[in-house]
Amino acid sequence: MEQAIRIINVVTPGRGLTDITSRVLAFIADQSIQTGLLTIFCRHTSASLVIQENADPDVLRDLETFFRRIAPEGDHYRHDDEGPDDMPGHIRSALTQTSLSIPVASGQLVLGTWQAIYLYEHRAVSHRRELVLHLIG
């Protein structure tokens, strides 16, 4: 059994989904592990991870529209230490995922044809986000 770990930093442009698939694939390609399990962990409470369709950009836009409706900005939250997008960011993160587990077979991620891995920034402005990649196999 082997293990590999890497921390990657992603600078987001602000609220929305950033495709990190190529960075994750580069990490897998650097390893000698052919069969195993990759865990990706987001070390933040106002950003998250999702696997989503990568073919039609309307899917990502519709997701953002949905989250804007269910977690709107405003002054109706008690927690607003970092501004009106602070608590909505935490709600969005709670409704998505802070970690993903993806199988690896033949040295490749076992993703579906139209799947990509996204870091989902829930805050309005750019942030530097830290992700931990851990491969075991």
User: Tell me, what's the pLDDT at 84?
Assistant: 87
Pairing of strands 108-109, 128-136: unpaired
What's the pLDDT tens digit per position in 16-64? 999 999 999 999 999 999 999 999 999 999 999 999 999 999 999 999 9
80-111 pLDDT, tens digit each: 888 888 999 999 999 999 999 999 999 999 99
Residue 74 pLDDT greater than 90, yes or no: no
Sign of CA dihedral 94, 99, 103, 106: positive
Going from the N-terminus, what domains does the chain have, and what CATH number goes with each?
Answer: 3-136 (2.60.120.460)
Given a contact cutoff of 8 angstroms between Cβ atoms, the answer to whether 82 and 14 are in contact is: no
Mean pLDDT along residues 70-77: 91
Residue 66 neighbours by CB under 8 Å, 6+ apart: none
Q: Lowest-pLDDT range, 49-58, 68-77, 118-127?
A: 68-77
Residues near 96 by beta carbon (within 8 Å), at least 6 away in sequence: 48, 49, 50, 120
Q: Which pTM value belongs to this model?
A: 0.95
The band of 136, judged by pLDDT with boundaries at 50, 70 and 90, is very high
